Structure 1
């Protein structure tokens, strides 16, 4: 059970105004949680261990290839290795050895493979593991998998079960597990670098530093509760704890304010191409991502190393038929959801009613936004620059900042990509530098919970409530890296893994 704020206030009333010596121990007892006890018993924050037995799976990609990797994890891994190689002892740990694999029952040769033995706990999962590097033909892979299935105690692995066992045995924190999942699904350089940082434990280390701050403050508060009346403590203990907590609050607010950047980096930045009809929007999309467009089309694309969801929209104009009006309505709706807007105008037709309307209704409101707000970002492109005469400095000087582009010749495309890279780095954050960003809504939820709990830390009014506030905040941080012991959250995280991982 966990103690609520009203219950805690009632407890303080029951204790009365007498000395609170020893009350910190009561507080720890009454905030005891069976889930926390189970997590402590397992030493990893998981609600329960992965299903037992020994598992096996193909860990490399499906289809014909030069080498396929099949691996096992569990107590019967050594038996499986001996059964397939007819050897009494496994090869030296973590050393590749060439062995002939045979079916355990028929003795039929299956393949000549490299065999690696990883005795637990010095393995990825913390259990005994075997890797078989076989030739990648489908018949070979199928034969070896069938042979493993015939070994007593072995069963096919479920999706993500290898990684889940690594988490259950304390080999990976939950944040590192999520980093591994993001690394597997990374499609751009920025996603890869951010996932590697999380897999390397940077977010977990940051949380550990925050937990240390909370532990230190909590120790000071509880010491003051137990011994404050004896004047045995140094002066300024509570003041120092309060300063540390307020500094932590500022750090948490900074990360929460920045949380959207990490989620954009993981799922993609919404980049919308818009403008009046016949300005060259579809041509621009085809330059950035070859394909065809009609009305609103959203396609994932790697822009300068960053993930983006690129949308081509119908031309914005008024007084059209019902079908085209629906396309315009969808285009405006998508425009409201955009992170970055690529506004496209015909450089040779800037005085047309459609161009003027676009400048007044779309471009002008975006340009006048406060630069300090979390605003949509605009890149204004004047397409068809190849149609301008060589002495055409007749460009309207009243236009907002813009770039010249020719989708037909490609002139100006490099400048556009460099400008896009700059804007994307602002929207997503730079994955190469700075503190690790929050890439999932779960991270944001627990940091917000921690911040809310710290809002109740008022050591100058009630020390018991202040101590409980620190415990609640610490609990949220432990959930961020350890999962909080709920199977539902773990299931959602591990379902994104493939079977062999």
Structure 2
């Protein structure tokens, strides 16, 4: 455990008026401070809740009646002595307790993320678990919560540490073969090591080939609404959001910038983006809006191309250019036609010029006709794009870059016949994976070398 010179404190529950607020202390003076607040000489039994008045040690003023829990290190979240004060959640109570703590010698307010950082530094978790905690706090949907819980519980760290351990063992064998050629080492080390390296590399590559599901789940599935001006894009956004998120007008070019709405579809996070009508314009601001709309659409997970009923089957050329297999065609304003009623759903209609078989839905953004069917289709698409039943996927770009680099090193190491070069590439791959979990320690290699082989018998 890393010794901390300072004891920190902070409000750990949400800010604002509540029934109960939790104030947490961590560090060597936590127990002493609790005794002072309770007016006792002895600490409560660890992990046992005590209900008692807490008083300002300097003035003797009664601050509140609280539930206090003492966690003796290292059996605590941070690995240090930790105290939790469960006080009434009124602003005056919270401010009074925090002010009292701030006046105690040796205590200071915690910096953002400092509790979790101390937990990592004291070996209570790796970096992926720490990131899982952050994701869990930020989770807005059930799917995000499930992914964050799995990562916080160590599934991702266990996977990466398993690869790292296997690579370190292979590296130890290579190093032993290089450094102790005259020793009685097992025959056929190199072929076995290559097999181990190839196996790990194949697993890393499969892990990377996840269509970025974990990252997209964290950030939200991106759906962009496209179409010509006045096709009804903003009305559709408002209908899906169930509020007036965008200005609706018959004047072309009303929407000049992107408008985002965050939705929860079947427990998955979705960002719905309304864009400027795709057309050429001499208006500088509108032209910039069109450029941004095109750029956002090109990177979207799904595109909704809205077409006015009066224009069907013609699709605006600018929107048609962006149509691919990640597109749904929406024929809007079906309520405007008194005859030749359109069916609610078309499946497998060939869109002229696209060379694709795409779903085409008839809707009315104004009345809501067909919108439920659209939502069901969107929920299916989002679930297909984000649901991941296998091992927990990587969730951050830094994980992806480190693993890509590790795989590149393994590819190179497997191609060389020079043991020293192969060892260096494996060593670099180990370091890249260690960067993800925060555990990079070359001393571990020595333990494996002398544990696996009888060197100097």
TM-superposed deviation, 1:263 = 2.2
Q: Is the partner of 1:366 in helix, strand or coil?
A: coil
Q: Deviations over 1:171-205 (max 9, x none)?
A: 11111111111111112222222111111111101
For 1:2-41, what aligned pairs fall within 5 Å after superposition?
Answer: none
For 1:240-251, what aligned pairs fall within 5 Å after superposition?
Answer: 240-251=192-203
Matched, 1:465 2:451: no
Q: Verify the 8 A CA contact 1:58 1:69 in the aligned structure 2.
A: yes
TM-superposed deviation, 1:118 = 0.7
RMSD: 2.7
**Residue 129 and residue 448 in structure 1: after superposition, are their counterparts in 2 closer, same or farther (change >3 A)?**
same
Q: Which whole-Å CA distance do the structure 1 matches of 2:135 and 2:116 have between them? A: 13
For 1:12-411, what aligned pairs fall within 5 Å after superposition?
Answer: 52-225=5-178, 232-234=185-187, 236-258=188-210, 260-289=212-241, 290=243, 291-293=245-247, 294-304=255-265, 305-318=267-280, 324-351=286-313, 356-358=314-316, 360-363=317-320, 366-367=323-324, 377-388=326-337, 392=341, 398-399=350-351, 400-411=358-369
Q: Deviations over 1:439-471 (max 9, x none)?
A: 222112211221122123148621122222222
**Residue 231 and residue 117 in structure 1: after superposition, are their counterparts in 2 closer, same or farther (change >3 A)?**
closer
Matched, 1:475 2:449: no
Q: Verify the 8 A CA contact 1:125 1:162 in the aligned structure 2.
A: yes
For structure 1, list consecutive stretches of 5 or more residues without a partner in the other structure. 1-41, 43-48, 370-376, 486-501
Q: Deviations over 1:320-371 (max 9, x none)?
A: 76664444344323322323211111235415xxxx242x55336633x6xx
TM-superposed deviation, 1:153 = 1.7
For 1:372-451, what aligned pairs fall within 5 Å after superposition?
Answer: 377-388=326-337, 392=341, 398-399=350-351, 400-427=358-385, 429-431=386-388, 433-451=389-407
Aligned residue-pair number: 422
Q: Is the partner of 1:438 in helix, strand or coil?
A: coil
**Which has the bigger relative contact order, CA under 8 A and spacing at least 6?**
1
TM-superposed deviation, 1:78 = 1.0
Question: Is the helix fraction higher in 1 or 2?
Answer: 1
Q: Deviations over 1:252-297 (max 9, x none)?
A: 2223333633222222333211112222211111122221243223
Deviates more, 1:246-255 or 1:112-121: 246-255
Q: Verify the 8 A CA contact 1:175 1:481 in the aligned structure 2.
A: yes
Deviates more, 1:221-230 or 1:113-122: 221-230
TM-score by length of 2: 0.84
TM-score by length of 1: 0.77
